[in-house]
Amino acid sequence: MKNFQCDFHLESDKLISVKTDREYKNPVVQLKRSSSLLRQLLQSLKLNYLVEASVIFINPEFTLYRAPMDLPIILPTQVNRFFNDLNKTPSKLNDGHKKLAQKLISLHQTKNPFTTLPKYFYEQQKKGVYCKICMSFEVSIKNNEFVCEKCGCHEKIEEAIFRHTKELMLLFPERKITTQSIYEWCNVDLNRRTFSRALKKHFTAFGVTSDTYYK
Ligand SMILES: [Zn+2]
């Protein structure tokens, strides 16, 4: 599925925007690669299914000049007919289809294995409250709100504490969320009770009074 807008033309294997003359990744090339990979996967699973792949351009504002008729492309004016034809094809789902669906779901990867995160440590991180819009640490407190000195953006204290707590959880999932840890992380001149109030509102408290932590 592609949501390209405006006018494009095909120049042999190149997809080019008429307006900017910029070249874009040709989806037919992407399609060939992914359908070949899917076929190989099915073969390795010993599942014998026919794979018919098409690029579907869904945006009604899309035009493709010089599109050869033999390319596996469904243009916006053909999408309705394409689905109608699909729906008209008689079919019955059997156990084999369910097995295939379950297999594909079990192989689905939600995390990109190629992402590598830089190493970072708690001690190295700058502690403090920063603006949610421009990321500046130059914020001051006025009437129960943080006000950014740079861009003028306002944020309720409680919401800013919630935002910074979620960030601490994401960066350091092994650290316990306590009033003290958030007090340290936000490093701002506020009463500890303000922190525990915000935590109580957005998270569930566990443990006894002197040792309360939040999740
Ligand atoms: Zn700002």
* Distance of CA 133 from the midpoint of ligand 1 (Å): 5
Q: Residue 159 has what pLDDT?
A: 95
| Phi, psi for 146 (deg, rounded to 5) | -90, 135
Q: Rg of the chain's alpha carbons, rounded to an integer? A: 27
Q: Residue 48 has what pLDDT?
A: 86
Q: Residue 118 has what pLDDT?
A: 85
Helices (H) and strands (E) in the chain, counts: 6, 11
* Distance of CA 130 from the midpoint of ligand 1 (Å): 8
**Rounded to an integer, what is the distance from CA 46 to the centroid of its chain?**
32
Q: Residue 209 has what pLDDT?
A: 73
Residue 214 in tokens: 């939040």
pLDDT truncated to tens, each residue of the chain (215 aa)? 999 999 999 988 899 999 999 999 999 999 999 999 999 999 998 888 899 999 999 999 999 998 889 999 999 999 999 999 999 988 888 998 998 999 999 998 887 777 788 889 999 999 999 999 999 999 999 999 999 999 999 999 999 999 999 999 999 999 999 999 999 999 998 999 999 999 999 999 998 777 889 99
* Distance of CA 165 from the midpoint of ligand 1 (Å): 19
| Phi, psi for 35 (deg, rounded to 5) | -70, -35
* Distance of CA 66 from the midpoint of ligand 1 (Å): 48
Distance between CA atoms of 159 and 165, rounded to whole angstroms? Answer: 10
Q: Residue 7 has what pLDDT?
A: 95
* Distance of CA 158 from the midpoint of ligand 1 (Å): 17
* Distance of CA 131 from the midpoint of ligand 1 (Å): 5
* Distance of CA 154 from the midpoint of ligand 1 (Å): 8
Global pTM reads 0.51
The alpha carbon torsion through 119, 124, 127, 132 (nearest 10 deg) reads: -30
How many C-beta neighbours within 10 Å does residue 162 have?
17
